């Protein structure tokens, strides 16, 4: 992701040139990864880990003291075990968006040192945040990609063009394909990114496609905005 001079056309499209930033190093504001991880925990943590933990040492000492003073130790609080289960799906390996010419294999993305979602290391490939839900599981699955590079458009250069109803296909490692339908596309300032709205847990499968957008800030070497496309199965 390099900085430098950058021109944006009058209608807001990114122009060509060697000074263009390579993409999305700053596409996630502080706290976004924490929200995604929180969403994973809410849906994916084993029941035993959530509800079957042993009592703390302090609580154990309290119970023992009560018994030693002639009292009766309180009965254990009943644990809650959800009967809800979620279908396991294979990992995503390819993304296709025919209406904007996207056909890319998916790399796996982790976290950057600052706690944000790391950007793909190759501008022509999109990446799936592997510590988050898989596409098709209930909760937002995140796929990110660069908008451009020093040499020209990158994988998500035309993401901002996606209209509601456009089809998005995610192919998975087991040979299955899940189809999504775009429901919304928005451009948001990175300084006011609605992380709680975009990445909070949901009960239904949701796909979030994220890249950079807006004007390029030569001082910081990044775009000022993000493009966030939301899609649901259909």
49-102 residue pLDDT tens: 223 334 344 333 343 333 344 444 445 555 655 455 556 899 999 999 999 999
Residue among 229, 211, 37 at smallest CA distance from 132:
37
| Contacts (Cβ under 8 Å, ≥6 apart) of 170 | 92, 94, 95, 96, 135, 136, 143, 177, 178, 180, 207
CB 95 within 8 Å of CB 143: yes
pLDDT grade, residue 195 (50/70/90)? Answer: confident
* CATH architecture observed for domain 32-42+85-233: Beta Barrel (2.40)
183-194 residue pLDDT tens: 999 998 988 877
CB 129 within 8 Å of CB 107: no
| Residue 77 DSSP class | P
Report domain extents, the chain: 32-42+85-233
C-alpha 22/C-alpha 130 separation (Å) is 22
CB 209 within 8 Å of CB 200: no
pLDDT of residue 63: 37
8-61 residue pLDDT tens: 333 444 444 433 444 443 444 333 444 443 333 222 222 222 233 343 443 333
C-alpha 167/C-alpha 130 separation (Å) is 23
Backbone φ and ψ for 202, nearest 5 degrees, come out as -130, 160
């Amino acid at each position: 992701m390099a900085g430098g001079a950058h021109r944006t056309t009058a209608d807001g499209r990114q122009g060509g040139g060697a000074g263009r930033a390579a993409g999305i190093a700053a596409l996630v504001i502080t706290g976004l990864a924490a929200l995604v991880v929180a969403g994973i925990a809410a849906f994916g943590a084993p029941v035993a880990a959530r509800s079957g933990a042993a009592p703390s040492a302090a609580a154990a000492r309290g119970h023992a003291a009560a018994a030693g003073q002639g009292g009766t130790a309180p009965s254990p609080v009943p644990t809650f075990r959800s009967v809800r289960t979620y279908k396991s799906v294979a990992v995503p390996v390819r993304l296709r968006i025919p209406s904007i010419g996207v056909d890319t294999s998916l790399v796996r993305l982790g976290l950057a040192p600052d706690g944000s979602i790391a950007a793909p290391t190759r501008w022509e490939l999109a990446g799936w945040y592997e510590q988050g839900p898989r596409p098709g599981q209930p909760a937002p699955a995140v796929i990110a990609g660069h908008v451009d590079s020093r040499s020209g458009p990158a994988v998500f250069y035309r993401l901002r063009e996606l209209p509601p109803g456009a089809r998005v296909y995610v192919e998975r490692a087991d040979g299955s394909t899940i189809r999504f339908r775009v429901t919304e596309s928005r451009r948001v300032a990175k300084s006011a990114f609605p992380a709680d709205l975009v990445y909070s847990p949901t009960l239904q499968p949701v796909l979030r496609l994220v890249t950079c957008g807006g004007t390029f800030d030569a001082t910081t070497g990044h775009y000022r905005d993000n493009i966030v496309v939301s899609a649901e199965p259909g």
